Structures are given as C-alpha cells and as structure tokens.
C-alpha cells in the first residue's frame, strides 16, 4: 500500500517563484509521516516548489489544507479523484469547515491525527472508509520523520521547525487556534523535544507553538533543558510574559533570540472587540517591551488592522510605535476573517462580509479585504497596510534598526537573521499583494 502526501501551495504570480519567506520545512508532513505504520510506502509532493505527478501509482492521497490553500487543495484533489484515487484531507481548514471539505474528498479528518489515523487506515484497507473521522486535541509522537522531505531540504529556509505543544488557553475571537483547540493546551515530553532537537540539521529553531507559556512549569523545564544545547530559538508569545523577570532571563539563557508578539492593535477598544484586552494594562506596554529588549531578546511585532476603531491615524500611530521601539521586524496585516471564528460569525451576523467563502472565490488574491471596515473602505485598508509596511521596510529604516540591534545584542545569528529577513521583506512587501489563491491547472500543464 502506498500513500502520496501533498502540501498545496497558495499560488504564485505568473513567471514568479513562490515567496521565499513562506518556504519553511513542512513539519505537518513529517509528523503525519511518523504516524503512518511502517508497512506503507510513501511519497511527498511539495506544491510550493515542484510539480505534482498526478499519474503516480498510489492507493491513498493525503492532503493538508489551510484556509489559504483550500482552493488549491480542492483542485489537486479533483485531479487525483478523476484518476480514481482515494483522497483524504485534514488540517486547519478541514477542522474549521468539515462540511465544505467533505464535498471535495473521500474522507476528512477533523482535529489531531494521532489517536485516529490508525482506524482510518484500517478502514481503508477493509474497504469501509468513513466520510469523517474526528480526533480530540492531543499530541502524541516522539520524533517527526523528516526523511519524507530530506531531498528537498536545500529549498527550505535554514530554520528547524519543532512543536513543543498545541493549542492555547485564550479565546481571541479572530483566531483559528481558538476555533480549532477551543481553549485546550497540551504539550510533549521535554525529553522527546530535546532528542528531536539533537537530530535537526539547523541550529536556529522556530518553536511553532501558539502559546508555549500556557504551562509555565513545562516552559521552565524545557528552557532549562535547552541551555546545554547552545541553540538559537524563536517562538510566539504574548507581551504579558515580560511581567515574569525570571522567565525572561531563563528564555535568554536557553537561546531565545527573538519572540513574535501578536500585539494586534495599539488601540484598547480594538483589543476589547477581539477579546484580547487582557494583553494590555494601561501604561505598562512600553515598560514590558523595554524589559524584553533589555535582556537581549528581539521582537517581531505583529499588527492587524480593520477593527472598528481603526482609521488612518491608527496606522500612523502604529508606525510611530514601531519606530519608537525599533522592532526587529513588524507585520502590518489587514484582519483576515477566518471561518468558524467568533469574528466570522459576528461580521456575518452584521452583514459586513463582502464574501462569505472568500477562500474559494474566483479571482481572490492575497491582500484583498473581504469585509466592510467601519471607518475605512476595503481599498483604503488594503492600501494603508501596504504603504505603512513599505515605510517600515525602507532601507533607511532597516539601517537605523540594524544599528540599534547591534547595541542590544552582539549575537552573530540574530544580527545575520535581521539583515536576511529585513532585506527579504523589503523586496517581498509588494510581491505578496495580488498573489492568486489557487493555481490555474491549465497553466501548470504547459
């Protein structure tokens, strides 16, 4: 028996390559690969960097689906099903929209695969494959099997992706993690994580967790165990972590070079609207940022625009805020209304969704605003995101921030990463906008 695994790409502009900053190793595939019993043969196509061989001899096709790749995933599934192959889909979008995904697959998996992949494969072998399998939030593997993409490693960014836990206790209304894990959090054993890190090719790590500090005792144990490994790592955190001086010190000592902080907005009303007000206590934001910088950890600040209190002034103030703190990098994205989130339901109820299934819409491109903001037009929102991002990534701004960074840390890796990432973003800001979601298969055949 053979399984063909597919990571669908989002599409690319004609004649251009897939965005470099999105080319990370596909950890999902390595995790699925380790969960599949040894008796199965397997192969993998990474749609971002190679053509899929639809004529391949295979028994089962596994496709992982995110909202941005759903349209492409459904196109790929149709090609395989036309050739009589059985297609199974799983991942974020399938978990958030199982009824929709079922229309395009022979079976779908909702939630985590660990506890149910065995029964799915058994049913397939017995000829009794069900339409839907539902897994509970869990995490249950020792070592992801990266051999599935060992031949493509050179094409990916030189960063190792490792998962230490899944989910998050918070419930921010716009967030797909909240929609998927419903305030659950689970983590792996520290010993397994350390063993995995020792097998990884690169010494710079991205812990893909959404909330590594959901269990502080676990985080402490992990960071203590990381110290002797002398790696450099980054992850996503919320600003409130800086209230814990001890934790900050431990993070730094264990190799943390940068954290991605979802500030989302500098406006308190917006934060309340998205149920993330808990991140901001009046007056302490600047102090917490300074504490993080002072221990030598850099910040990738992420902002989302389009909430009800946003207007052009918010963009100006956010850019000033970014320049004041000289962030390592910053993201200026418009609000993405992901399905099965509370934000989706409330915008839909208010009649503010321009398209209810934007991810399947013909002609939908990256950067297109799919809802009606309160104080801006959709076009203004899109244009401001692009122009303020451009301002932040101007060479003058990069140079100034690079100088500040050198005063904050002498780490070779962090300074190197700063230049590599900022220069990449400088050139990619304009390239991102207008990327089509889903490829034209006719084009692909030429």
- Residues engaged in binding ligand SF4 (CB under 6 A): 168, 170-172, 175, 177-178, 210-211, 238, 262, 276
Residue 177 or 248: the one with the smaller Cβ distance to ligand B12 is 177
- Cβ pair 219, 247 in contact under 8 A: yes
Which of ligand B12, ligand SF4, none lies near 196, with the C-beta cut-off 5 to 8 A by kind?
A: none
Which of ligand SF4, ligand B12, none lies near 172, with the C-beta cut-off 5 to 8 A by kind?
A: ligand SF4
Among 46, 100, 106, 163, binds ligand B12 (CB under 6 A): 163
Residue 62 or 327: the one with the smaller Cβ distance to ligand B12 is 62
User: What is the number of residues in the chain?
Assistant: 446
Q: Point out which residues pair with 107 in neighbouring strands.
A: 88
Total residues in contact with ligand B12, by rule CB under 6 A: 35
- Cβ pair 286, 442 in contact under 8 A: no
Residue 21 or 309: the one with the smaller Cβ distance to ligand B12 is 21
φ, ψ (nearest 5 deg) of residue 423: -70, -40
Torsion sign across C-alpha atoms 168, 295, 414, 223: negative
Q: Point out which residues pair with 60 in neighbouring strands.
A: 3, 86
Which of ligand B12, ligand SF4, none lies near 4, with the C-beta cut-off 5 to 8 A by kind?
A: none
Using CB under 6 A as the binding rule, whether residue 300 contacts ligand B12 is answered as: no
Q: How far is the CB of 209 from ligand SF4 (least distance, A)?
A: 9
Strand runs labelled E in 229-373: 232-237, 256-264, 298-305, 329-334
Among 196, 210, 310, 439, binds ligand B12 (CB under 6 A): 210
Which of ligand B12, ligand SF4, none lies near 270, with the C-beta cut-off 5 to 8 A by kind?
A: none
Q: Point out which residues pair with 258 in neighbouring strands.
A: 234, 298
Q: How many CB atoms lie within 10 A of CB 81?
A: 15
Using CB under 6 A as the binding rule, whether residue 385 contacts ligand B12 is answered as: no
Among 4, 11, 31, 241, binds ligand B12 (CB under 6 A): 31
Of 88-96, 192-200, 386-394, 414-422, the window that binds ligand B12 (rule: CB under 6 A) is 88-96
Distance CA 171, CA 179 (A): 8
Using CB under 6 A as the binding rule, whether residue 343 contacts ligand B12 is answered as: no
Binding mask 100-139 for ligand B12 (x = CB under 6 A): ---------x--xxx-------------------------
Which of ligand SF4, ligand B12, none lies near 92, with the C-beta cut-off 5 to 8 A by kind?
A: ligand B12
Q: How far is the CB of 246 from ligand B12 (least distance, A)?
A: 26
Using CB under 6 A as the binding rule, whether residue 438 contacts ligand B12 is answered as: no
Distance CA 20, CA 420 (A): 11
Which of ligand SF4, ligand B12, none lies near 262, with the C-beta cut-off 5 to 8 A by kind?
A: ligand SF4
Of 62-70, 244-252, 319-327, 419-427, the window that binds ligand B12 (rule: CB under 6 A) is 62-70
- Cβ pair 162, 212 in contact under 8 A: no
- Cβ pair 77, 107 in contact under 8 A: no
Binding mask 268-287 for ligand B12 (x = CB under 6 A): --------------------
- Cβ pair 277, 431 in contact under 8 A: no
Residue 68 or 124: the one with the smaller Cβ distance to ligand SF4 is 68
Using CB under 6 A as the binding rule, whether residue 364 contacts ligand B12 is answered as: no
- Cβ pair 437, 10 in contact under 8 A: yes
Among 1, 22, 186, 229, binds ligand B12 (CB under 6 A): 22
Of 171-179, 190-198, 269-277, 409-417, the window that binds ligand B12 (rule: CB under 6 A) is 171-179
Using CB under 6 A as the binding rule, whether residue 208 contacts ligand B12 is answered as: yes
Q: How far is the CB of 91 from ligand B12 (least distance, A)?
A: 3
Q: What is the dihedral of CA 255, 258, 263, 266, to 10 degrees?
A: 120
**3-state DSSP call for residue 263?**
strand
- Cβ pair 87, 112 in contact under 8 A: no
Cβ within 8 Å of residue 164, ≥6 positions away: 187, 188, 193, 207, 209, 212, 222
User: DSSP letter string over 28-71?
Assistant: HHHHHHHHS-TTSEEEEEETTTS---TT---SEEEEE--GGGHH
Q: How far is the CB of 275 from ligand SF4 (least distance, A)?
A: 8
Cβ within 8 Å of residue 239, ≥6 positions away: 261, 263, 279, 280, 285, 288, 289
Q: Which residues bind ligand B12 (CB under 6 A)?
A: 10, 22, 24, 26-28, 31-32, 62-64, 66-69, 88-93, 96, 109, 112-114, 161, 163, 175-177, 208, 210, 333, 338
């Amino acid at each position: 028996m053979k399984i063909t695994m597919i990571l669908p790409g989002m599409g690319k502009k004609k004649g251009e390559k897939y965005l470099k900053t999105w080319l990370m190793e596909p950890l999902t595939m390595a995790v699925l690969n380790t969960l599949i019993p040894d008796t199965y043969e397997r192969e993998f196509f990474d749609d971002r960097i190679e053509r899929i061989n639809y004529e391949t001899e295979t028994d089962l096709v596994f496709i992982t689906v995110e909202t941005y790749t759903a349209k492409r995933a459904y196109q790929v599934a149709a090609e395989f099903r036309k050739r009589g192959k059985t297609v199974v889909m799983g991942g974020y979008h399938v978990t958030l929209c199982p009824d929709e995904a079922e229309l395009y697959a022979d079976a779908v998996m909702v939630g985590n695969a660990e506890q149910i992949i065995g029964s799915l494969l058994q049913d397939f072998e017995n000829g009794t494959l069900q339409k839907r399998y539902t897994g509970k939030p869990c995490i249950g593997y020792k070592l992801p099997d990266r051999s599935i993409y060992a031949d493509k490693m050179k094409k990916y960014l030189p960063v190792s992706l490792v998962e230490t836990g899944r989910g998050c206790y918070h419930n921010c209304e716009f967030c797909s993690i909240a929609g998927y894990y419903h305030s659950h959090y689970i983590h792996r054993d520290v010993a397994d994580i350390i063993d995995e890190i020792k097998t990884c090719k690169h010494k710079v790590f991205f812990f893909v967790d959404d909330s590594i500090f959901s269990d502080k005792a676990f985080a402490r144990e992990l960071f203590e165990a990381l110290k002797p490994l002398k790696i450099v790592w980054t992850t996503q955190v919320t600003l409130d972590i800086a209230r814990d001086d001890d934790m900050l010190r431990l993070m730094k000592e264990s190799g943390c070079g940068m954290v991605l902080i979802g500030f989302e907005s500098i406006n308190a009303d917006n934060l309340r609207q998205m149920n993330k007000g808990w991140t901001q206590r009046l007056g302490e934001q600047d102090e917490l940022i300074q504490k993080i910088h002072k221990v030598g950890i850099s910040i990738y600040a992420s902002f989302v625009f389009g909430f009800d209190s946003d207007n052009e002034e918010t963009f100006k103030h956010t850019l000033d805020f970014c320049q004041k703190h000289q962030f390592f990098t910053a993201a200026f994205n418009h609000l993405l209304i992901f399905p099965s989130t509370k934000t989706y339901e409330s915008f839909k109820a208010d009649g503010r969704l321009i398209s209810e299934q934007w991810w399947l819409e013909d002609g939908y491109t990256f950067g297109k605003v799919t809802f009606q903001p309160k104080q801006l037009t959709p076009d203004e929102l899109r244009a401001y995101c692009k122009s303020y991002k451009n301002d932040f990534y101007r060479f003058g701004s990069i140079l100034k921030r690079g100088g500040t960074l050198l005063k904050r840390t002498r780490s070779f890796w962090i300074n190197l990463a700063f230049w590599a990432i900022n220069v990449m973003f400088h050139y990619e800001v304009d390239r991102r906008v207008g990327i089509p979601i889903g490829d034209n298969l006719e084009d692909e055949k030429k």
